[in-house]
Amino acid sequence: MNSNKAKFDTICVKENLDIKSGEPHVLPIHASSSFSYENIQDSIDVFTGQKEGYVYSRYGNPTIQSVEKKLAALECIDLDNEGYCIMTGSGMSAITTLVISQLEAGDELLTQYNLYGGTTEVFKKILAKYGIKIHLVNLENLVEVEDTLNANPKIKLIYFESPSNPTLNCLDIRGITKIAKANDKLTAIDNTFSTAYLQRPFNLGVDFVVYSTTKYLNGHGNSIAGAIIMNDLDQNQQVWTTMKLMGTNSNAFDAWLLHNGIKTLTLRMDKHCTNAMTIAEYLNNHKRIKKVNYPGLENNKYYDIAKTQMSQFGAMMSFEIDGGIEEAKQFMDKTQLCTIAATLGNVDTLLLHPATASHLNIKKEIRDANGITDGLIRMSVGIENVSDIIEDIELGLGF
């Protein structure tokens, strides 16, 4: 049919895609749920895998795939082999999709006590319901790790954070992966705090890297997404199939926003880290602060291991105010520049009180045993002028 002869309502409905010149300078947002074909044979070739193409945005989308390729390239920059990335709707969906893709009922998972509270909850409240047993141990103790694997042969995956949320504990990643490989176990790390700019888990033997790309990779607090990165084609296929069937996919707009954020990742992280070190040193000498958790301090328990695994020490820290929950609340209420928010990794400085927020549903005795006290405050240091951040901290500590 000649489109010039179409009726008014038909012209309203049909796409006008006949643009012959020029390529977009920046990545377009492919806001399309599905994709069309030249003819039925073209459709058959794409559906059967004989020809590359897109089917449905839950399966794959040009905008999302472009960002996935960039994330994989960044994560695998030091490797000879190619990396693969699957984007998901959030960091939590990345964790869940990964675990479900690799484990089944009867399999077991080994992890640490001091995880992000949401991760602990999904392991214990969701995955455990479907026959995946969870073992919580001190992953800093490599003897305990090996003993646990030997005593529980059904453990298939070791999942961990380093640095951990919110106490910034650092694990011997290479030590864990060495034990895992000797026992034919998989390893996965949440590298959200560091990004591949500061820490390259694949260089340390890890099998899977997961992200809440919402945080530092995006950096601007305007989208929610997650990512699973691996360098094994078969594992990529398993993860993709799980993502596709569970519908945990990302969307083109959030992927596009992430793509924009990544462009300034190195600039932002350098400033984040410089500011964080200055603030950690300031807090470390403050009379109202009992303890500072920041691996960049030379008196920190994890300084040596962090120095071997990270190029810089990151922008996350936590500190314990002399007192308890009331003093912590007063501090947070008195600050004016810092923002109280249940996230991290934005360009501005963010505060969170773990005991009443991220770790609210973790039993107090478990929180206390892992240093998540009522007086602990988590700070995601932004890229503002560092003197302004310190002035605001002084304001908060003047209760």
Active site residues: 58, 116, 190, 215
Residue 168 carries which DSSP code?
A: -
Cis bond leading into 163, ω under 30°? yes
Q: In what order do the strands lie in the sheet with 376-380?
A: 289-293, 316-321, 376-380, 350-352, 339-340
100's CB contacts (< 8 A; 6+ apart) are 127, 242, 246
Cis bond leading into 62, ω under 30°? no
**Interhelix angle for 325-334 vs 386-397, to 10°?**
130
Distance, CA of 225 to CA of 38 (rounded, Å): 32
Q: What are the helix and strand counts (H, E) for the chain?
A: 15, 12
Distance, CA of 379 to CA of 318 (rounded, Å): 6
User: Which of 137, 265, 157 has the alpha carbon at shortest distance from 213?
Assistant: 265
- Secondary structure (3-state) at 355: helix
Structure tokens given for 83:
């990396």
Structure tokens given for 142:
């490599």
**Helix, strand, coil percentages, rounded to 5, for the chain:** 40, 15, 45
Scan for tokens 């920190």, then name that residue: 300
Scan for tokens 């950096």, then name that residue: 219
DSSP states of 176-196? HHHHHHHTT-EEEEE-TTTHH
